[in-house]
Amino acid sequence: MIGMSTRHILLGLLATGPSHGYDLKRRHDERFPQARPLAYGQVYTTLQRLVRDGLAEVDGTGSDGGPERTAYRTTDEGTHELARWAGEIAPPAPFVANEIFAKVVVAILSGGDPARYLSAQRAAHMERMRELTAVKAARGADLATVLSADYALNHLDADLRWMNTTAARLTTLTAEVDAA
Amino acid sequence: MTSLRADLRLAWDLTRGSDRGEWWRVTLTASGAALATGFALAAVALAALRGQYNVPVAAGLLNQPGTRSGVIAGLLLLLVPVLGFLGQCARIGAVHRDRRLAGLRLAGAAPWQVRRIAALETGLAGLLGSAVATVFCVLLLLRLWDKPTALAWAGIALVAVAVPLLGAAVSALALRRVVASPLGWVRRVAPRTGRGPGLLFLAGLLLVGVVALLALATESPAASNRPGNGLPLTVVGVVLAGGAGAVWLSGAMAEVTGRVLAARARSAATLIAAQRLRADPWAAARTHAAVLLVTVVGTGFLGIRQVMGDVVRTQRFSERADYYLTGLDLTGAAIALAFAIVLSGLAVGTAESLATRRRGLAAQVAAGVPRAVLGRALLLETALPLAPAVLLAGLGGTAIGTWYAWLGHHPVPWVMALAPCAVYAACLLAAATSLPLLGRTARPGELRYA
Amino acid sequence: MSRPVPLLTAGGLTKAHGRTPALRGASVVLHAGEILAVTGASGSGKSTLLHCLAGIVRPDAGSVTYDGRRLEDLPEKRLSELRRTEFGVVFQFGQLIPELTVLDNAALPLLLAGTGRAEARARAGEWLERFGVRGQENLRPGELSGGQAQRAALARALVTGPRVVFADEPTGALDSLAGEQVMTALVHTARESGTAVLLITHDAQVAAYADREVQLRDGAVVALGVTA
């Protein structure tokens, strides 16, 4: 989930009503099961920035017998900003950071074994896909889990297909890279 | 004219590049056309004779106009099983051909173009058959007849041209559904009713009947006032009605048998056979109609022959027994020939049904369905609807024989009851000729292709 | 997890179609109850491998052992019996008999095993229900959607309680959602009944349903992810 706006996701979670920082983290991790879990510290830093920019405000402070907790709520400006972001088109991958391709080219340049690398990378991808598929195909998996797993699966599958065609064309690629 | 040449070229390329099934179709269609041409030419040559004439074959049977008209009618009736046979041949590789023609439509060919290409394909096969048959018939004729009349030549030319033309026309007609939409029958979801070919068969039967009647009516005006001349006419009429009835009866039998057995089948083979009959009873009807026709005629003839043989030998005809017996034998030979053609049609039909389903059959074998079960289902498909139909046809024929014996106050010739049994057994044997094909058809290799 | 028990073992399989070699010394082991994916490009010999393992074709060389029995020693009659009692097969399409109803199709293996028609139909009905094809039993295969037909084919393959199911591109003719339903149904049922599955596919997302993957290239098995 590179480049995803944590600000806007927290604003979205706040849209259902005032919430504590810890609550927000838990709800985020539940709702986006295949995404990287949010760090607690990251939640607080982001909330403070939202307050600074006038998109959220402190709703109150309570302790409920435990440690002190600050609750936050969204402002009108925050609601407006959230609507703008939700409707905005995500740019279709303007610069793809293709680490795998870079490694293949470097392997060729440095006289390494790109075929073996691709094969190992492919196995690692497959292993991850099997894990995601097991999560998705488990009995009683809810639709949010299935869909987020599907998203990741499709991206991994795209990588995999690219690796398969690249592996089949390594000889030509090696000749081209070496000639340049 | 250039577009016709282009179509001809395309038809030729399509035939040349096609697989073994296509070549079987071409070969069998050509053989059928050759048979049809042969019978029609013989009939035409005889019809061209006028009055008393000395024909040096068949013990003088062809010398008089009266008996000659009977022979002509017999030759024309032989066209009926040939038509049935040709109908079966047209179905060889039908699925593949339909797909190919639909492909032509998808590639932008107009309906009439596709129809013309298909008609040319059939026409070429028919032309081949008719040309071969015509050449041999003419050679034979020149040996028997010093100087054939102009009428005979005109008739020969007409037949030689008409057979391939008719074949082309029928194939164009039969393809009307395939070419109607570009997708044609590329995707065949529901089983079709299959009444079309049945109707074609009936139409063909009617055509032959009308021609036969015309031939009889015009052939021998001198003899028309003689008593007993009505008999051939009656026979032709009865046979036509019998044929129409047989198509319907066979289809209805197949449908009922299929429905009843599908609900009660206890074994896999019976279940498969019954459901196939229920799904397309008219396929069975097409194949079996000609069988039933031959059964009626054959059984009846056997009875009549028995009675007449006695009469000829014992009574006042004895000095000309040879003449009459040759006539009877000739009729018997014609019926046997018709039966042989019908059996070939049946065998071709069974083989075709296997070839069409080869991928599905291979999948069944792969899933462990024993070949024996599939073979039994194949035989049951022929045996089940045919049993009651042949029984009824046999009864019909026996009735004719009995009636004839009763007219002449002779004992009923029960030997004719053997005819339906023999027909039934022969049909099962004909269907069984496809069993070795089942072994070769249901190969795992078929699983690899769509 | 207990130690995996080899159920089906193939060694050095070679098979040519005419002069075209399809397998050149492929070796593979299928353990009891596992789901194994066989992947590879078109023409890499995947289907031929399945045909050899399921005893549908005999390899030119090499050996297949199922549960201690060498398949090449069995006559065709015994192989056929093995296929219909202990194996189940699912192809891309076309395995259902078009003239039979969906219910009769699913009941066919039981009928062949000598089960009475009523009981066979009842048991087939239960399997169809498990695969979500309830209510369509009396239709013909041609009247089903592709996904429904494949689930009916799965019911037919599993109705005899086989120990191995061979699936050759079972989702090859389906869209991804229908394919997902077919695969989920297959995986759930196989896991519950402890049936081993040999799954042929060119699609990584389908292969990911398996426990393990074997990749074929030019008729032989490629070592996977070995960094040595």
Q: Which residues pair with C17 in a beta bridge?
A: C20
Q: How many residues appear in chain B? A: 450
Domains identified in chain C and CATH numbers? 1-82+201-228 (3.40.50.300)
Query: Residue B205 falls within a domain, yes or no?
Result: no
Neighbours of chain B (3+ CB pairs under 8 A): C
Q: Let me know if C161 is exposed, middle or buried by CB neighbors in 10 A (0-12, 13-18, 19+).
A: middle
In chain A, what percentage of residues exceed pLDDT 90?
Answer: 31
- C-alpha C49 chain-centroid distance: 12
Higher pLDDT, C196 or B292: C196
- Do B19 and B161 fall into the same domain? yes
Position B429 pLDDT exceeds 50: yes
Query: Residue B206 falls within a domain, yes or no?
Result: no
| φ/ψ (deg, to 5) at B95 | -60, -45
The verdict on C142 touching B (C-beta cutoff 8 Å) is: yes
Q: Which residue has the tokens 């001809």?
A: B8
Give the model confidence (pLDDT) of C150-163 as tens digits: 999 999 999 999 99
Which pLDDT score is estimated for B192? 45
In chain B, what percentage of residues exceed pLDDT 90?
Answer: 4
Quickly state the pLDDT bin for B63 (edges 50, 70, 90).
low
What average pLDDT does this structure show over A51-75? Answer: 83
Most C CBs within 10 A among B275, B357, B374, hence the mutation to make, goes to B275
CA distance B354 to A7: 68
Give the model confidence (pLDDT) of A115-158 as tens digits: 889 988 999 999 999 999 999 999 888 898 899 999 999 999 99
Give the model confidence (pLDDT) of B433-446 as tens digits: 888 888 877 776 67
Query: Residue B203 falls within a domain, yes or no?
Result: no
- Do B236 and B335 fall into the same domain? yes
Most C CBs within 10 A among B266, B447, B449, hence the mutation to make, goes to B447
Position B352 pLDDT exceeds 60: yes
Query: Residue B163 falls within a domain, yes or no?
Result: yes
Using the 3D structure, point to which of B191, B213, B239 is the last residue of a domain: B191
Which pLDDT score is estimated for B165? 87
Which pLDDT score is estimated for B206? 67
Give the model confidence (pLDDT) of B95-149 as tens digits: 677 777 777 777 777 777 777 877 887 888 888 899 999 888 888 888 777 677 7
Q: Which of C124, C127, C99 is nearest to C109 (CA)?
A: C124
Give the model confidence (pLDDT) of C78-135 as tens digits: 888 898 889 999 988 778 888 889 999 999 999 888 888 899 999 999 999 989 888 8
Query: Residue B199 falls within a domain, yes or no?
Result: no
> Number of folded domains in chain B?
2
- Do B72 and B163 fall into the same domain? yes
- Do B57 and B176 fall into the same domain? yes
- Do B395 and B286 fall into the same domain? yes
- Do B173 and B298 fall into the same domain? no
Give the model confidence (pLDDT) of B166-223 as tens digits: 888 877 776 665 555 555 443 343 444 444 445 555 666 666 666 666 666 655 444 4
Q: Which of residues 104-163 of A touch C (CB under 8 A)?
A: 116, 119-120, 122-127, 129-130, 132-133, 137, 139, 153-154, 156-157, 160-161
Q: Let me know if A73 is exposed, middle or buried by CB neighbors in 10 A (0-12, 13-18, 19+).
A: middle
How much is the mean pLDDT over chain B?
76
From chain C, the residues in CB contact with A124 under 8 A are: 225
Using the 3D structure, point to which of B176, B191, B206 is the last residue of a domain: B191
For chains A and C, count residue pairs whose Cβ atoms are closer than 8 Å.
50
Higher pLDDT, B226 or C180: C180
ipTM above 0.95, yes or no: no
Which pLDDT score is estimated for B190? 40
Cross-chain CB nearest to A124 (options C207, C211, C225): C225
Higher pLDDT, B117 or C29: C29
Cross-chain CB nearest to C111 (options B264, B268, B278): B268
Q: Which domain holds residue B103?
A: 1-191
How much is the mean pLDDT over chain C?
90
- Do B166 and B72 fall into the same domain? yes
Give the model confidence (pLDDT) of B329-338 as tens digits: 888 888 888 8
Q: Are strands A19-20 and A69-74 parallel, antiparallel or unpaired?
A: antiparallel
- Do B155 and B241 fall into the same domain? no
Q: Which helix (H) or strand (E) holds A174?
A: helix A170-179
CB proximity list for B349: less than 8 A, separation 6 or greater: B88, B91, B283, B286, B287
Quickly state the pLDDT bin for C59 (edges 50, 70, 90).
very high
- Do B301 and B153 fall into the same domain? no
pTM here?
A: 0.76
Nearest-CA distance C205 → chain B (Å): 23
Q: Answer for the pair C181, C5: CB distance below 8 angstroms, yes or no.
A: no
- Do B55 and B176 fall into the same domain? yes
CA distance A55 to A52: 8
Query: What are the start-end ranges of the H helices in chain C?
Result: 46-53, 76-85, 102-112, 117-130, 146-158, 176-193, 204-207
Which pLDDT score is estimated for B215? 60
Query: Residue B198 falls within a domain, yes or no?
Result: no
